[in-house]
C-alpha cells in the first residue's frame, strides 16, 4: 500500500508523521499561549506547575518524565520557578541524590487563578473538535504510545 501523494505543485510528498504531529500540537497549544504570557509563564513552566498542583511532593526526575522535559532544561526551569517564589526544592533525606519539588503558597494561588482560564480554553478546544474527534485522537495516540517497538529506547547498548 503506497501512501505517496502528489502535492499541490506536483511534487512528491510522503506523509510526514513527525511534521504532522508538530503541526497538530502547535495548532492545539496556540490559543493557550496568550494565557501563559499574561502571567509571565512559559508553556513548560505551566506544565510543571500544573503537575505539582495535582501531585504534591514530586521527585525532580518524575517531573522530567511526566512533563516530557529533559534534565538540563528542567534544571533551569525549576531554578527560575524557585527564583520567582512559585516552587521549592529540597533534597530527600533518605537519598541525597534525589530532589523533591513542591508548590509554594504563591504557586498555589497562581494555579488557582490560572486554572479556570486554561480549563475554559480546553473546553473550547473540546467543543471545537467535537467529542468524537477528541476521542479518536486520544485513542490513536495512546495506541501509538503503547507500542513496544515505539516505546523502546531504540539504541542498543554498547
Q: Using CB distances below 5 to 8 A depending on partner kind, what does residue 6 bind out of its own copies, DNA, none?
A: none
| 79-98 positions binding DNA, by CB under 7 A | 79-80, 89, 94-98
Set of cell numbers at residue 20: 504532522
CB of 29 to DNA, least distance (A): 7
Binding partner of residue 95 among DNA, its own copies, none, CB cut-off 5 to 8 Å per kind: DNA
| Residue 23 binds to DNA (criterion: CB under 7 A) | no
Tell me how far, at minimum, the Cβ of 43 lies from its own copies, in Å: 8
Nearer to DNA, 4 or 158 (CB): 158
Binding mask 82-121 for its own copies (x = CB under 8 A): ----------------------------------------
Q: Which residues contact 124 (CB under 8 A, 6 or more apart)?
A: 31
77, 87, 103, 111: which one binds DNA (CB under 7 A): 77
Q: Residues 29, 38: contact at Cβ < 8 Å? A: no
Residues of the shown chain interacting with its own copies in the complex, contacts defined by CB under 8 A: 1, 3, 9, 11-15, 17-32, 34, 47, 54-55, 67-68, 122, 125, 128-129, 131, 133-138, 140-145, 147, 149-151, 153-155
Amino acid at each position: 500500500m503506497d501512501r505517496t501523494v502528489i502535492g499541490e505543485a506536483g511534487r512528491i510528498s510522503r506523509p510526514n508523521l513527525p511534521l504532522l504531529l508538530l503541526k497538530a500540537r502547535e495548532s492545539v497549544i496556540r490559543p493557550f499561549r496568550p494565557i501563559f504570557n499574561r502571567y509571565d509563564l512559559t508553556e513548560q513552566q505551566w506544565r510543571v506547575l500544573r503537575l505539582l498542583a495535582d501531585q504534591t511532593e514530586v521527585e525532580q526526575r518524575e517531573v522530567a518524565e511526566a512533563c516530557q522535559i529533559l534534565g538540563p532544561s528542567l534544571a533551569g526551569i525549576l531554578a527560575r520557578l524557585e527564583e520567582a517564589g512559585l516552587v521549592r526544592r529540597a533534597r530527600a533525606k533518605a537519598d541525597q541524590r534525589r530532589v523533591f519539588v513542591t508548590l509554594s503558597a504563591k504557586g498555589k494561588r497562581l494555579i488557582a487563578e490560572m486554572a479556570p482560564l486554561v480549563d475554559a480554553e480546553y473546553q473550547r478546544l473540546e467543543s471545537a473538535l467535537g467529542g468524537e474527534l477528541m476521542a479518536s485522537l486520544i485513542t490513536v495516540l495512546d495506541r501509538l504510545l503503547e507500542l513496544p517497538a515505539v516505546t523502546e529506547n531504540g539504541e542498543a547498548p554498547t
